[in-house]
Amino acid sequence: MGTHVIKMPDIGEGIAEVELSQWHVKVGDMVVEDQILADVMTDKAMVDIPSPVHGKVIALGGQPGEVMAVGSVLISIEVEGAGNYQAPAAATPATAPAAPESPPVAEHKPTVQAEPRPQSPAASAPATPRAAPVPRQADERPLASPAVRKRAWDAGIELRYVHGSGPAGRILHEDLDAFLNAPQDALQAPVAAYAKRIGEEQIPVIGLRRKIAQRMQDTKRRVAHFSYVEEIDVTALEELRVHLNEKWGQSRGRLTLLPFLVRAMVVALRDFPQINARYDDEAQVITRLGAVHVGIATQSDDGLKVPVLRHAEAGSLWSNASEIARLATAARTNKATRDELMGSTITLTSLGALGGIASTPVINAPEVAIVGVNRIVERPMVIKGQIVIRKMMNLSSSFDHRVVDGMDAAQFIQAIRGLLEQPASLFVE
């Protein structure tokens, strides 16, 4: 005696589920070939399921009204002979359904059922040659050649999600291609408007990026950042800058805002020596410096670099301007020397047109201050009861609050503001 299992057939409408409407038999009934066993309902039609075999019903796979997956066991019938179902040996990874069988609705002849399998050939004895793909259990190792595995790793694909169409469920290159090209979850999802992207790229954090990451993290962890934002009316300064560029632009080179800012910092720092300093927190020593070496934060293709404008206090507007331009080019083209990239006492960071309205710059430790420049915008301002259009720019600065008090920091920025709003005072000794 064997067991013949009938599975919920694929009725051919591309559906995954079928509702079991009614049983025409019950457990213990004898059935004959072609006898109707059950009615099932798809969203389109009611379908009869006839028996392909003679035998006794030994189990029903569901209750009327139950929605069953295509391929799940509908009914088990005890038959003469081997049947089409072999009880799984303990833990044999072959319990999952085999390749889709011919649906009984399509063919009523019992002979179309999968060929009877040998019950249990003795160990080491001849076995029937048969190697249909058997689906893998969830915890089973995917079967794929080393070349396929490597390709999957490189593409970021987990092989256990890939259907293997080869012998014994082996995953072939074609299966990988199909997986890569297939829209994910084709059954549920409507056609996506945009292609889904899969895979991920791991970028090792090395070289300059690693240095930047370390420095930033270290600074943020150790330094008590205190940020201060003030707005500055740069209308007069811009007029002066435009004027100077018109008059001297050809002969001395064009000026950006940066050399004016550098000049303002240099002048303001005379009264705030505690801000042009380096704080060695391990030795607990603050070193105040006479020279103002201004670090100019510069974006390069590799990442952030800070070349240093040396002795900014001794440079003229134009000499500082040309030095800043030279350093920026050197940093961007990777030509900046080691010396040009170290020794700053305070840092200036500007994103130019991308400056935004405020930022919270990270101090270039062991310095104690960084001045950030935001974008210049024209804004309606109230001056002496009149609304006038002024060119306004914010300065966003950070200070090491461990050694710079808030009052000093604020006064320092106010001093810069005063100098920039009255640009003539920049040049009065």
Partner 1 sequence: MQTLNTTLLIIGGGPGGYVAAIRAGQLGIPTILVEGQALGGTCLNIGCIPSKALIHVAEQFHQTHKHSQHSNLGIKVQAPSLDISQSVSWKDGIVDRLTTGVATLLKKHKVEVVHGWAKVIDGKTVEVESAGVRIQCEHLLLATGSESIELPMLPIGGPIISSTEALAPRALPKHLIVVGAGYIGLELGIAYRKLGVEVSVVEARERILPTYDAELTAPVAESLKTLGMKVYLQHSVESYDQATQTLQVRTADGHPVPMAADQVLVAVGRRPRTRGFNLEILDLKMNGSAIATDNRCLTSMRNVWAIGDLTGEPMLAHRAMAQGEMVAELIAGKRREFSPAAIAAVCFTDPELVVAGTTPEAAQQAGLDCIVAQFPFAANGRSMTLESKSGFVRVVARRDNHLILGWQAVGVGVSELSTAFAQSLEMGATLEDIAGTIHAHPTLGEAVQEAALRALGHALHL
Q: Is the CB of 94 or the CB of 112 nearer to partner 1? A: 94
Q: Is the CB of 152 or the CB of 348 nearer to partner 1? A: 152
Is residue 401 within 8 A of residue 218, CB to CB? The reply is no
- CA 259, 425, 310: angle at the middle one, nearest 5? 30
Contacts 24+ apart (CB under 8 A), 302-307: 302/207, 302/208, 302/209, 302/334, 303/208, 303/209, 303/212, 304/212, 305/208, 305/331, 305/336, 305/341, 306/341, 306/344, 306/347, 306/364, 307/331, 307/336, 307/340, 307/341
Which residue is it, tokens 């457990």? 27
Coil, helix or strand for 65?
A: coil
Interface residues with partner 1 (CB under 8 A) are: 89-94, 121, 123-134, 141, 143-146, 149, 153-154, 156, 166-170, 202-204, 206, 210
Torsion of CA 404, 406, 408, 412, to 10 degrees: 100
What CA–CA distance (Å, rounded) separates 421 from 237?
7
Other Cβ atoms less than 10 A from the Cβ of 109: the count is: 11
Catalytic: which of 54, 225, 311, 401?
401
The distance of closest approach from Cβ of residue 125 to partner 1 in the complex, given in angstroms and rounded to an integer, is: 7
The distance of closest approach from Cβ of residue 350 to partner 1 in the complex, given in angstroms and rounded to an integer, is: 33
Other Cβ atoms less than 10 A from the Cβ of 324: the count is: 22
Catalytic: which of 177, 271, 339, 405?
405
| Spatial CB neighbours of 204, under 8 Å, sequence gap ≥ 6 | none
Q: Is the CB of 93 or the CB of 418 nearer to partner 1? A: 93
- Per the omega criterion (within 30 degrees of 0), is the bond before 366 cis? yes
The distance of closest approach from Cβ of residue 167 to partner 1 in the complex, given in angstroms and rounded to an integer, is: 5
For the record, the structure tokens of 389 come out as 């259009």
Is residue 40 within 8 A of residue 58, CB to CB? The reply is no
Q: Is the CB of 145 or the CB of 422 nearer to partner 1? A: 145
Is residue 154 within 8 A of residue 173, CB to CB? The reply is no
The distance of closest approach from Cβ of residue 156 to partner 1 in the complex, given in angstroms and rounded to an integer, is: 7
Q: Is the CB of 90 or the CB of 382 nearer to partner 1? A: 90
What CA–CA distance (Å, rounded) separates 277 from 367?
6
Q: Decide if 311 is catalytic.
A: no
Q: Is the CB of 150 or the CB of 220 nearer to partner 1? A: 150
For the record, the structure tokens of 231 come out as 């707005």
| Spatial CB neighbours of 319, under 8 Å, sequence gap ≥ 6 | none
Q: Is the CB of 123 or the CB of 187 nearer to partner 1? A: 123
Q: Decide if 225 is catalytic.
A: no
Which amino acid, 209?
R
For the record, the structure tokens of 217 come out as 């993290």
Angle 235-252/317-332 helices, nearest 10 degrees?
Answer: 80
The distance of closest approach from Cβ of residue 280 to partner 1 in the complex, given in angstroms and rounded to an integer, is: 22
The distance of closest approach from Cβ of residue 139 to partner 1 in the complex, given in angstroms and rounded to an integer, is: 12
The distance of closest approach from Cβ of residue 196 to partner 1 in the complex, given in angstroms and rounded to an integer, is: 19
Is residue 308 within 8 A of residue 342, CB to CB? The reply is yes
The distance of closest approach from Cβ of residue 368 to partner 1 in the complex, given in angstroms and rounded to an integer, is: 29
Is residue 323 within 8 A of residue 255, CB to CB? The reply is no
Q: Is the CB of 200 or the CB of 301 nearer to partner 1? A: 200
Active-site residues, by number, are 401, 405
